[in-house]
Structure 1
Amino acid sequence: MLNILGRSGGISVRFFAKDVRFGVEARSLLLQGVNILANAVAATLGPKGRNVLIEQLLISPRITKDGITVASNVQLKDRRLDMGAQLLRQATNNTNNDVGDGTSTATILARGMACQGMHVLRQGQVNVQLLREGILEGSRTVCEALGEMSQSVDTIGQVEAVAKVALNGDERLAELIGDTILELGENGVILVRESHGPKDEVKFQEGITLPCGYCSPFIAAKSGKDSRLELGNCLLLLTLAKIDQVEQILPALELARLREQPLLIIANDFSSDLLKILVLNHLQGRVQVCAVKAPGFGDEQRLEMQDLALAMGAHLLEDASWLADLSEEDLGEVVAAVVNAKATHLLQPIKVNEEQVQSRIQHIRELIDEAVTDEELDRLNTRMGRLQGRLATIYVGGTSDLELSERKDRFNDALHAVRVAISDGIVPGGGTAYLRCIPALDRLPPAKVMEHQLGREIVKDALRLPCYTIAHNAGVNPNEVLHRVLDGSGNFGFDAATGEFGDLVVRGIVDPANVLKAAMADAAGIASLLATTEVLITKQPIKPKIPKNQVTRDLARLVGM
């Protein structure tokens, strides 16, 4: 390490050289990091996979069997080893972003192909780019074979079978997901929330529910003990303006009075003086009016209000000047509106442009496909559920924060797996589908160059690893399991939950075809890059200087310094 200290204008400048490794040594360091991450993730695979306990700073540790969660928390002190782990983590992230499941399988496949590729490079002179092309060609062949093998999902029983595998054999939770999809349809919106108790339950919501109630409790003063205001055959005014004076909404009030219908106003904000006038008007029995503050903030609020206007057949009035030119066509109309202190429920809109609503739903589906974070995905799903007028919320229970976190991860994985299975079909699970792809590789015409053939062989060897790992985690002889499954055909495979062999589709042990294809494609891409790496450049580690006072030392120890 080069350490030069100079001064210019009283400022210290320090230069650190970088660590550079070549060839076998570079790949060996990467492989150590790959193995550490892959071993941690592989332990979770299958119905008898083990749990992983993850430390979390200042709060309780997290327990999980979710491959992407485990991979995201593996960070190695040695920068060179950590680069290998980071590259492998990229395969899991890609698979998770594409299909939301299959991350453990992608990790195992990528590790297997990377190890085999590095072993080939140690044997002699090999053109690394041609080797990479051979690996990618083999992965494409496997994906095509999986597509030909897939069977469509036609029954709720098959849906529950997919969910059961993702839920590690929990039949009751799989039935809960199956019943929910049966009720909503395959395009229905399902949200997952944490329950306040140990039980799991599902709640269905008709119409549109907004997470905001009336602005003043006096508006519901005459509605009984439950403080709930029910407005039948209600007009709806939507605006992004802040309403300060009653004159701004006089046209809307006049329309409501002439039609003898209650009026619900959802706006960006209301002045306190205006709310006093509306409450007084309501209590005196003139025009029944309820004021509700619009959900969200900023751009998100605008999008949600645009969704609401489309779903309710109303026009969104952007600012206060639009209120003065209000016409009857600008107002929405619903059969019923129920408002309490915390939420607003809008039921059965009377005039809706279905074509515009469906176009908006399709746009949100495209945004969902591009979503990166769980928060963004949850927000978009909520918006789509509102537009469709019906959604379900599954409340996941647990006896502790640890159990609740782990079960919520599994629920989300199961929902992703079910969605992909419905759209792209299913194949036999337990790693059997990959084993049935080996003949497809054998049927390929002889490669024109040696490296292409070596790449195919690397992919072929990796196809055995998922089944091997599942059997190993189940505590049986993995070599014997592999031998028996390879001797069989079709859907014949190993049921790790019971330790028996049989038709896996009949037993309900299936995987979404698209999940296996995504895992293979992502693993091949990352593994081929790992295997063909020649130079590794990392920064030299710098040990932070910690002051000697006791408080600072205690804080540094707390954060691992």
Structure 2
Amino acid sequence: MNHLKVRSQPTKVVIQATEALPVVLEAMQIVSEIVGSTLGPGGRPVLIEKQEYGLPPFLTKDGVTVYKSLGFENAAMDLVMEAIRDPAIHTANEAGDGTTTATILAASIVRKVHEWHQKHPDQSPQAICRTLQAMIDDGLRFLQERSVAATMRLPDGSLDPEGNKLLLAVAKTSANGDEDIAEASLKASQMAGDGGNVLLTEAPGSGYKVEKVEGYSLPVGWEDTAKSLAANWFTDQAREVCRVENPRVIVYHGKLSGMTSLTPILEKVIAQYEANQGDDVAAILGYGAESGVIASTCKEKDCKKALALMEVTGKGVVWGCKGHPQQAEPIELLLDECRRLGKTVIVAASSFSDMVLTSFFMNFRREDSPQLVPCLIPQGPSSNYQLQVMHDIAAVVGATVIDPVSAREAKLSCLGPGVSAFEMDRLRSSFEGAAYKSAALRSDPYRHQLAARIDAVTKQVQRAASSLDRTYTQERLAKLTGGLIRLTVCGVSNADIRERRDRVEDAICAIRGATREGCLPGGCWGLFVMARYISERYEAEVSSVLVEALREPFRRLLLNAGCSEAEVAKIRTEMIEKVEALSESASSAGWRDAKPEIFDAITKTWIDPFEAGILDSTPAVDRAVRSAAAQMPVGYLGGIIAFKRDDELERKEALAATAYQRAVAQGANEANERG
């Protein structure tokens, strides 16, 4: 029997230019109204239902989250929304804030471009868009050159009181006036530093908790590493934690399915441990030099010969090569440094077989063998992520990454001097300290090793292939620089936590943006200044397209605050007059000195934004305007081609997916119920 493949051509919806533009304007206006309802202190949160089965709905006032959740049943309108959504989301990814402003601006600009094109059908729409883009670039350059710098730290490393006051105001504005969020976000940013990273976690309760994660941490613990055998490594049964002091580290690139490859290096560890328990000074110092905790080569210029024990006196030890004997540190100091290296070894590897884990915990309890603790390296978004993390750990602990081939000839120096402690709980493993701190008598090589690794990871961030890779690499860089900070968002429900977390993310991104590029007075003041600048320098007929559009977010902000259309018109006129009152000379000298005034939507009064603490980060304003400008071509579409939705098919697929997820959640298996 011949089986013919069923061929079905999707039904296309083709809309001509004359019909397409009303669809575009309607779709953008609806999106602008919904997303714009969250703008400003008077903005309203939006309740969003999750499509996935079993997940509760959540409440958010975050514009980008609302935007991502939108959809139209009409195929053409949904296509328009998808086309204009990416630039707005890109604004959030770059600046962390400004999505709502960008959405309102985009709808207004597209409408104004469409109106201008209707009045001037003989003019090239591409030409007008290029002209408007040049105006926008010029206006944004004017804003950036005159933004107020907000530095977190002074050149001597101390906190800048004035700069941090501005950053706190930026964070508070971005967090919709929540002082607790602003203070927690600023504290986390201060602790993280320029190269640091702030990790957001969630927990039940109230308030916000900021803490520093010491050393290099991994998001895996004994639950993933050792599973049912984990209890054999607990040093604190009550807390279910394994903690060991002064461990050394083997960084093994590969899966450990047997002990054969590690046997040679572990035998050397035991030999050194036994020598350290004895009185043979030469043997102790020899192993110490091989391990890298004391010097192993002569420090004299152009002499790299191996050092040897020349003589032991009551005052110290003569430790040098035959041509350059040197009086070294007191013998007690050298011996203490060498004897610090015990027999506890952390083995960091890609994976462990059950046989290897069994051998590890049997050795962990024995007195005459190395105390081996497994540490699983987590997988990441790329195939070489594990290897990159291994090199990071090696730089921190002063070790060398080995593999199944090089492990057989590994020396004690491959383990490095180790770290001060290693702790593994259920969900996290942490290396506390660093090699250059452990090797007090020979710290320079390990400092250089860590610095070189930081430089390498910094370059990896710059050439990351995707935003996901960049996020993971930035997290690794933060751990290496000691700037990994955890900010815990607490709430009474999932919806409450999610809404708080969105505002925390906005505040942190706003602080970072203001630190890099400065800040501006809030309340849409920057948009009004930009509109004034453009209107004064360009032809009125063309510039009016942008001037009116740039003032639209201010109108939406006032409407959200409860003002009527008449009040909005009056306040808007006053805002234009106050901006025009600022002379260009005062602006170039500094807007802060010019004492600008903005309208406070909460108190309904005119205030000094710097005194009241209502400031926007410059990147948020810049990216919002650029994102909106990218939507201009949508205002003169030649048509829309979309695929008509099969509502019945989509409904059946959704029901089938929901039924399957419910069955999985309840542990049901249809095959087991068949007769």
Distance 1:486 1:425 in 2: 24
The alignment partner of 1:291 has SS state of: strand
Correspondence for 1:49? 43
Structure 1 counterpart of 2:395, from 310, 315, 324: 310
CA distances 1:81-105 after superposition (whole Å, capped 9, x unpaired): 2232223213312212322221111
**C-alpha displacement of 1:510:** 0.9
Q: How many Å apart are 1:229 and its aligned residue?
A: 4.1
Give the corresponding residue for 2:196: 188
Alignment partner, residue 261 of structure 2: 248
Matches within 5 A, 1:21-100: 21-57=15-51, 58=53, 59-100=55-96
Q: Give the 5 Å matches for 1:469-484.
A: 469-476=556-563, 477-484=567-574
Equivalent in the alignment of 1:117: 113
C-alpha distance in 1, partners of 2:542/2:619?
23
Amino acid aligned to 1:29: V
What is the aligned partner in structure 2 of residue 148 from structure 1? 145
Q: Which amino acid aligns with 2:249?
A: L
Which amino acid is the alignment partner of residue 212 of structure 2? F
Q: 1:292 aligns with which of 364, 369, 374?
A: 374
The reply to whether residue 163 of structure 1 matches residue 174 of structure 2 is no
Partner of 2:491: 398
User: Is the CA contact 1:191–1:394 (under 8 Å) kept in the aligned structure 2?
Assistant: yes
Give runs of aligned pairs for residues 430-509 of structure 1, distance below 5 A.
430-444=523-537, 446=539, 454-476=541-563, 477-489=567-579, 490=591, 491-509=596-614
Match of 1:372? 467
- Secondary structure of 2:97's match? coil
User: Per-residue deviation at 1:329?
Assistant: 2.8
Q: Distance in 2 between matches of 1:243 and 1:530?
A: 57
Distance 2:656 2:195 in 1: 54
User: 345, 360, 363: which is aligned to 1:281?
Assistant: 363
Aligned equivalents of 2:184 and 2:659: distance in 1?
Answer: 46
Cα distance in 2 between the residues matched to 1:399 and 1:377: 33
| TM-score, structure 1 normalization | 0.88
Preserved CA contact (<8 Å) 1:138 1:455: no
CA distance in 1: counterparts of 2:105 and 2:406, whole angstroms: 59
- The alignment partner of 1:314 has SS state of coil
Q: Which amino acid aligns with 2:202?
A: E
Local SS of the residue matching 1:506: helix
The aligned residue for residue 3 of structure 1 is none
**Residue 195 (structure 1) shift:** 1.3
Larger Rg: 2
- Deviation (angstroms), 1:239: 0.5
Matches within 5 A, 1:167-182: 167-182=175-190
**Given residue 143 of structure 2, which amino acid in structure 1 is its aligned partner?**
L
Aligned to 1:417: 510
The one-character-per-residue Cα deviations of 1:255-278 (angstroms, maximum 9, x if unpaired) are: 322443222211223344444444
For 2:389, give the aligned amino acid. Answer: E
Contact 1:547 1:553 in 2 (8 A): no
Q: Is the 8 A contact 1:246 1:274 kept in 2?
A: yes
Shift of 1:116: 0.7
- Within the candidate set 595, 606, 620, 1:515 is matched to 620
Distance 1:521 1:217, change over 3 A: closer
CA distance in 2, matches of 1:403, 1:192: 15
CA separation of 1:127 and 1:324: change in aligned 2, threshold 3 A: same
Residues 547 and 277 of structure 1: is their aligned pair in 2 closer, same or farther, counting only changes over 3 Å? closer
- 1:212 and 2:225 aligned: no
- Cα distance in 2 for partners of 1:445, 1:494 equals 27
Q: Closer, same or farther in 2 for the Cα pair 1:264/1:136, shift >3 Å?
A: same
Equivalent position of 1:4 in the other structure: none
Aligned length: 537
Cα distance change of structure 1 residues 52 and 320 upon mapping to structure 2, 3 Å threshold = same
Distance of 2:618 and 2:135 partners within structure 1: 17
Which whole-Å CA distance do the structure 2 matches of 1:173 and 1:385 have between them? Answer: 22
How many angstroms apart in 1 are the aligned matches of 2:105 and 2:650? 42
Cα drift, residue 222 of structure 1: 6.2
Q: Distance in 1 between matches of 2:268 and 2:511?
A: 48
Percent identity of paired positions between Structure 1 and Structure 2: 23
CA contact (8 A) 2:39 2:101 kept: yes
Could you tell me which residue of structure 1 aligns to residue 345 of structure 2? 263
Aligned to 2:637: 533
Report which stretch shifted further, 210-219 or 121-130.
Answer: 210-219
> Kindly tell me: are residues 364 and 408 of structure 1, through their superposed partners in 2, closer, same or farther at Cα, counting changes over 3 Å?
farther
Structure 1 residues 309 and 462 mapped into 2: Cα distance closer, same or farther (>3 Å)?
A: same
**1:354 alignment partner, one of 450, 458, 461:** 450
How far apart are 1:174 and its partner, in Å?
0.6
CA distance in 1, matches of 2:60, 2:353: 48
- What one-letter code is carried by the residue in structure 2 that aligns with 1:333? P
User: Can you list the C-alpha shifts for 1:425-446, whole angstroms capped at 9, x where unaligned?
Assistant: 1011110111011232133255
Per the TM alignment, residue 418 of structure 1 is displaced from its structure 2 partner at its CA by: 1.1
Contiguous gaps of at least 5 residues in structure 1: 1-7, 447-452
Given residue 135 of structure 1, which amino acid in structure 2 is its aligned partner? L
Identify the residue that residue 320 of structure 1 maps to in structure 2: 404
Q: Which runs of 5+ in 2 are unaligned?
A: 152-162, 274-341, 436-445, 580-590, 663-675
Q: AA paired with 1:48?
A: G
One-letter code aligned to 1:423: R
CA contact (8 A) 1:493 1:503 kept: yes
Residue 496 of structure 1 aligns with an amino acid whose one-letter code is: A
1:20 corresponds, among 14, 18, 35, to 14
Question: Which residue matches 2:669?
Answer: none
Amino acid at match of 1:131: I
Q: Confirm or deny: 8 A CA contact 1:169 1:497 kept in the other structure.
A: no
Give the match's secondary structure for 2:39. Answer: coil
SS at structure 2 position matched to 1:186: coil
Tell me, yes or no, if the aligned pair for 2:191 and 2:212 is still in contact at 8 Å.
no
Q: CA RMSD of the aligned region, Å?
A: 2.8
**1:360 partner letter:** A
C-alpha contact 1:212 1:295 (8 A) present in aligned 2? no
Letter in 1 for 2:609: L
What are the Cα deviations for residues 102-125 of structure 1, in whole angstroms up to 9, with x where unaligned? 111111111110011111222242
Distance in 2 (CA, whole Å) between partners of 1:15 and 1:228 is: 61
Corresponding letter in the other structure for 1:291: V
Aligned to 1:363: 459
**Bigger strand fraction:** 1
2:248 aligns with one of 235, 240, 260: 235
Q: Aligned to 2:384, what secondary structure does the other structure show?
A: helix
Deviation at 1:454, TM superposition (A): 4.4
Aligned partners of 2:101 and 2:553 also within 8 Å? yes
Closer, same or farther: CA 117–223 of 1 in aligned 2, 3 Å: closer
Deviation at 1:9, TM superposition (A): 6.7
Counterpart among 345, 370, 382 of residue 430 in structure 2 = 345
Q: CA deviation at 1:28?
A: 0.7
